[in-house]
Amino acid sequence: MYAFHRPWLIVILLLSLLSVKAQPPAPDLSDDARRAVDSIRQSSVLSTVAFLASDEMAGRQTPSPELTIASRFVASRFRGAGLEPLDDDATYFQSTPFEVSQPPTDDVLLRIAGGDVLSSRGVLCASSERLQVTAKLLTESEIAIAQTPQIVVIDEVIVPPQATDNPAAVLLTLRRRLRSLSEKGVQLVLIKCAPESPLIDVARKLSDSPLPLRQGLQPDCFVVLVSAMVNLEGVEVIADIGPQEVTQVPVRNVFGVLRGSDETLADQAIFVTAHLDHIGSRNVGPDKINNGADDNASGVTAVLSLADAFGSLQDRPRRSIVFGTFWGEEKGQLGSKAFVAQPLWPLKNITANINMEMVGRPETDARERIWMTGWKHSNLGQLMKAGAERVGVDVFDRKDVGEMLYTRSDNYSFVRQGVIAHSFSAGSLHADYHQPGDEWQKLDIPHMIKVIQGLFCGILHVANRDEAPEETE
C-alpha cells in the first residue's frame, strides 16, 4: 500500500480524479423504445447472418459478384426499414470505380527462333505496354557480361502450396526476387516450373480473379512460367506478349438515413457502420470458402438489425442516424476512405461513428459484453456504457488490444478527418479468424441479440442527448 506524506500530492490526485467526468445514468427507456429492443429477435438475426456468411456468398471478396449481391441485399433491408437513401439517385449506393488488373491469358506467344512454339504454363504479370522482343536467352550468371539483357531464364522460385491463396503476396515476393534483374534492363523473365509447382496455380488464380491495381506490388517486368523439362540453353527466343489487362469494376458503399426529430439536432448524424467485404475463397483444402461469419457478417447483421429497430420507433431520435456498410475494409479501409473523400453527409456534422466489428463469438467471461477500441480518445465509450446498462449490457475498455485495434478498422478513416469514431466488438481474434472455419453455425446468436440490444440503447442515448460526444485526448 502506498502512503502520501505530502499534502500537495493528495491535492493533485484529487484534482486528477475530478477531471474525469462521471457520466450520469441514461433516462429510463420509454415503452416505444422497449418495443424496439424486443423486436431484435433470433429469427431476423439468424437468417441475416446465415445468408451473408453462406457458401453462395463466396467470402464477399472486393470486388466480386457476391459482394455486389450483398450490397443489394443491404440496400433492400434499408428500404424495408423505412430509411431514406443518402445519394441523389435514391439507390442507397455510393459507387466507386475500382481498378483491377490481371495478366494476359491468350495473348501470349513464345517461339524459339527457327524452331517450335514454346508452351507457356501461365503468366504471372505483364507490363502496361505490349512486349515484342527477340533476344538470346540468358541465365542470371550471364547478365553481368551482357550489354542488353532483355530475356532471362531462372530456376523455379519456391513458394509454399498455401501461397496460392494469396497471389498478391506471391507477386510481392517475386518483385523483391527480380528487382535486380529489372534494374539491369531485363524485360522478360521465364521461370522454369515443375508440373506440380504452386506457381502454376497462382497464375491460374490470377487469370480467374483480377487483383487490385496497386503500384509497387508486382515485378516491373513480364514474368512467364515455362516447363522445366525444356532445354533453353543458349537459344534465341521471340516473344510477343500482350499488356497487363486493366479494367474498372464498380464497388458500392450502402447508406440509409433515419432523419432526426429535433429541428436543431437533426442536421447532426451518428454513423452506424460495418464492413461488408471479406477475403473471398482459397485454392486448397476441403473447405475453400472463407465465409467471414464473425468477420464481419455479424457486424453487418448488427447494423441491419439496428436499422430495423430504429425504423420501428414511433418517436424518432433527436439526432439523425445514418446506417451504412463499406466495401474494401480488408484491403486497407478503402470503402470508408472513399466515403470521407467524398462524403454524402458533411463530416463536420457527423457526431460520431459507431463501427461494428466481430460481435458474434464472445471471449470467455465476456458474454453480453461489448468493448470499444481507443477508449481514451473520447467519452463515447462512457456514453454507450450508460445507455447499454439499461438492458444489462456492459460496454468496457479492453486494455490489452483496444488501443492497437483503434487504427485497424473503418472508424479510423473518420478519425483522420477529425470525427470521433470507434469500433465496437463483442468477440475476439479466434482461431477461425480469416479461415474457412468462420462459419455462421459457430456464432453465439443469443449473445449477438443481447449485444445488438445493448448497442441500440447506447446509440439511442447518444442520439437524444443535448451534448455531443467529446474528445478526451
Q: How far apart are the first and last CA of the chain?
A: 30
Whether 211 shows a pLDDT value over 60: the answer reads yes
Residue 22 pLDDT grade (very low, low, confident, very high; cuts 50, 70, 90): low
Domains of the chain: which residue ranges?
23-96+249-464, 104-243
Distance CA 207, CA 388 (A): 49
% of the chain with per-residue pLDDT over 70: 95
> What phi and psi, each to the nearest 5 degrees, are found at residue 443?
-75, 150
pTM for the model stands at: 0.87
Question: What pLDDT, on a 0 to 100 scale, did the predictor assign at position 38?
Answer: 98
| Range in 230-234, 297-301, 325-329 the model is least confident about | 230-234
Per-residue pLDDT at 20 exceeds 50: no
pLDDT the model gives residue 21: 57
For the chain, the average pLDDT equals: 91
The CATH number of the domain covering residues in 23-96+249-464: 3.40.630.10
Q: What is the pLDDT of residue 162?
A: 78
How far is the C-alpha of 390 from the C-alpha of 24, rounded, in Å?
A: 13
Residue 232 vs residue 344, higher pLDDT: 344
Whole-angstrom distance, CA of residue 80 vs CA of residue 222? 50
In terms of C-beta density within 10 A (0-12 exposed, 13-18 middle, 19 or more buried), how is residue 109 classed? middle
Residues 6 or more apart whose Cβ sits within 8 Å of residue 464: 27, 317, 318, 319
* Predicted pLDDT of residue 292: 97
| Residue 164, pLDDT score | 79
Q: What is the pLDDT of residue 227?
A: 92
**What is the per-residue pLDDT for 54?**
98
Identify the pLDDT of residue 78.
98
**Tens digits of residue pLDDT in 87-107:** 999 999 999 999 999 999 888
The top-level CATH class assigned to 104-243 is alpha beta
Q: Which residue has the higher pLDDT, 283 or 3?
A: 283
**172-189: average pLDDT:** 93
CB 205 within 8 A of CB 164: yes
pLDDT above 70 (res 1): no
- Which three cell numbers mark 167? 497471389
